[in-house]
C-alpha cells in the first residue's frame, strides 16, 4: 500500500514512570554526525492519512543485542547516520525517520536525468562523476549521493516489484530488492529495500543524505514490506522493538547525537522518563493535552493529536494556532521560503532572552521549550539570522488535524520509542536531554510546571 496522502512529517492512561533499560544492558549505538550549515534548510514531506487497519505489534525476539548509531546534524534541522547494504557493505547516509516505514537508497540503475542520483565516489572530493568545468555550480550546490550497485554485492537477491512513495514535495519511484543490512555493528539481516530509480524532487536533489530508513509501524510500509526494525527483531538480531534518539543541538560539539537501537542510554537524559501511550500505531501518534505560550496564550485547549516525527525539522500545527503562537513570540512572517518546510517566521535575535517559554502538556507533565530551544539561529553571508521553529501545516481529516513535534522538540527532549509486545501496548517515553555539565547541577529537570 502507498503511504496515506500529504507530509516532508494523541492520552488513554498514563503508564508508570519506568526506565526502559535494565541495568548493565549493552546497547547498539548509531552515531549522528554533524554537517556544517550551508545555504538551504530542507525537510522531507510525507503523505498523511488514515491507515486501513492497525498493525500487529508482535513479541520481541530473544537476545540482548542493542545498537548505537551515530548521527550527522545539518543546521540543527537534519540528522542522519550510516548504514551498509550488500556484501561487502556499500555505505549510505540515511535519515532515520519515525514518520515512514520503508528503507530506500538511490540505485546505480537510476534514470539518467534523475539529478539526485549523481554519484559520490572516493577520491573525487565529493564531486563524484561530474567532470566538466561547466558543472562547478552543480558540485557546490547539489548533495551528490552514493548509489547501490547490485552487481557489487554477492548477497543480492532480485525482487523487481515496483514501488512509489509520494511526498508533499515530490515522489520517489523504483523497484524493490533484497540484500543484507549492516547497522550499528549488526550484520546479516536480510531486508527488502527500495532502489530509487527516479527522484524528481528538489528536496532529494539538495539533500545531504542518500536515502531514508523508516522507523514507523508496519501499516505505513509501501507494498507491505517488513520495516527494518521488525526484521532485526524477527531474525533475533535485536532484543526488543525499542529505540531512542538523542539529538545534539550544541554547535560547539562535533557529533550530531545518537540513535540507540534496543533501548535508551540514561546518560542522554535527565530522569524520569514520562511515558505516553501511542493512540494510533501507524505514525508515532499520541494525545497532547494543551500548549501554552508564556502565561498569556493557550492552544490545543481541548486536547489534540500530535505526531513525534524525527523526519520533520520543525514543530508544526494548524495554521490559525501557529499564527497566534508566532505572533506571541514576536515572529515576523517571511514572504516566501525556498522549500515548504523552510522556516516562515523571522525573530529579532536581540529579543531571544525576553521571549516566553512554549510548553506542551503530555502525559500530565509540562515539557518546556525556551527561546534558545525553539529559535533556529544561523549565519548567512556573515549575517546572523534567527528563525522561528514553528510552522503552519493543516492536515485534513480523517487523519488530521494534528501537531507534529519534529526535531525542534526532539532536540530538547530525548524520545524513547517502544513498540510494545503481546503484553503491552506501544508508548513513547520523554525526558529532558542532557546538554552538558550545566544540566547535571542540582539534578533539576527543565520541565515547566503550570497550574492545572
Alpha helices, DSSP H only, in 48-100? none
Contact (Cβ atoms closer than 8 angstroms) between residue 239 and residue 190 = no
Contact (Cβ atoms closer than 8 angstroms) between residue 389 and residue 341 = no
Question: Could you list the active site residues?
Answer: 97, 309
DSSP string, 174-233: EEEEEEEEEETTEEEEEEEEEEEEE---HHHHS-SSSEEEE-S-GGG-GGGPPPHHHHHH
Contact (Cβ atoms closer than 8 angstroms) between residue 1 and residue 223 = yes
Backbone torsions φ then ψ of 77, nearest 5 degrees: -130, 0
| Three-class HEC string of 312-325 | CCCEEECHHHHHHH
Q: Which residue has the cell 508544526?
A: 316
Contact (Cβ atoms closer than 8 angstroms) between residue 156 and residue 115 = no
Write b or e for each residue in 273-282: b if 16 or more Cβ atoms lie within 10 A of its Cβ, otherwise e: bbbbbbbbbb
Contacts for 423 with CB less than 8 Å, ≥ 6 apart = none
Amino acid at each position: 500500500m502507498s503511504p496515506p496522502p500529504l507530509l516532508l512529517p494523541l492520552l488513554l492512561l498514563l503508564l508508570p514512570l519506568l526506565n526502559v533499560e535494565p541495568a548493565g544492558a549493552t546497547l547498539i549505538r548509531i552515531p549522528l554526525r554533524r554537517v556544517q550549515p550551508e545555504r538551504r534548510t530542507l525537510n522531507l514531506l510525507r503523505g498523511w492519512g488514515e491507515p486501513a487497519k492497525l498493525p500487529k505489534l508482535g513479541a520481541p525476539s530473544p537476545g540482548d543485542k542493542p545498537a548505537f548509531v551515530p548521527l550527522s546534524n545539518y543546521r540543527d534541522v537534519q540528522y542522519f547516520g550510516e548504514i551498509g547494504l550488500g556484501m561487502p557493505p556499500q555505505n549510505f547516509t540515511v535519515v532515520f525517520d519515525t514518520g515512514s516505514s520503508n528503507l530506500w537508497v538511490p540505485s546505480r540503475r537510476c534514470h539518467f536525468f534523475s539529478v539526485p542520483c549523481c554519484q559520490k565516489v572516493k577520491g573525487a572530493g565529493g564531486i563524484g562523476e561530474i567532470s566538466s568545468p561547466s558543472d562547478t555550480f552543480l558540485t557546490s550546490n547539489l548533495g551528490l549521493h552514493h548509489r547501490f550497485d547490485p552487481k557489487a554485492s554477492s548477497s543480492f537477491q532480485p525482487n523487481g516489484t515496483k514501488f512509489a512513495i509520494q511526498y508533499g514535495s515530490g515522489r520517489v519511484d523504483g523497484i524493490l530488492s533484497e540484500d543484507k543490512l549492516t547497522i550499528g555493528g549488526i550484520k546479516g539481516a536480510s531486508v527488502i529495500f527500495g532502489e530509487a530509480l527516479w527522484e524528481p524532487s528538489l528536496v532529494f536533489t539538495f539533500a545531504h543524505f542518500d536515502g531514508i530508513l523508516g522507523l514507523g509501524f508496519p501499516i505505513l510500509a509501501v507494498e507491505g514490506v517488513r520495516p527494518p526494525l521488525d526484521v532485526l527483531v524477527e531474525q533475533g538480531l535485536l532484543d526488543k522493538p525499542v529505540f531512542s534518539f538523542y539529538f545534539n543541538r550544541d554547535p560547539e560539539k562535533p557529533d550530531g547525537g545518537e540513535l540507540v537501537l534496543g533501548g535508551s542510554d540514561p546518560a542522554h537524559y535527565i530522569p524520569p522518563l514520562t511515558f505516553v501511550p501511542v493512540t494510533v500505531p501507524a505514525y508515532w501518534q499520541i494525545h497532547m493535552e494543551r500548549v501554552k505560550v508564556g502565561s498569556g496564550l493557550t492552544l490545543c485547549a481541548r486536547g489534540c493529536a500530535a505526531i513525534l516525527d524525527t523526519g520533520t525539522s520543525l514543530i508544526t500545527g494548524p495554521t490559525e494556532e501557529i499564527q497566534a503562537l508566532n505572533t506571541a513570540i514576536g515572529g515576523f512572517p517571511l514572504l516566501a521560503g525556498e522549500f515548504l518546510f523552510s522556516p516562515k517566521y523571522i525573530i529579532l535575535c536581540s529579543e531571544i532572552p525576553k521571549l516566553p517559554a512554549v510548553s506542551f502538556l503530555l502525559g500530565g507533565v509540562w515539557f518546556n521549550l525556551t527561546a534558545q530551544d525553539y529559535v533556529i539561529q544561523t549565519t548567512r553571508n556573515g549575517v546572523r539570522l534567527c528563525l522561528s521553529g514553528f510552522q503552519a501545516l493543516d492536515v485534513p481529516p480523517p487523519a488530521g488535524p494534528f501537531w507534529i513535534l519534529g526535531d525542534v522538540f526532539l532536540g530538547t527532549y530525548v524520545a524513547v520509542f517502544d513498540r510494545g509486545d503481546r503484553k503491552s501496548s506501544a508508548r513513547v517515553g520523554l525526558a529532558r536531554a542532557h546538554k552538558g555539565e550545566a544540566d547535571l547541577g542540582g539534578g533539576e529537570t527543565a520541565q515547566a510546571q503550570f497550574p492545572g
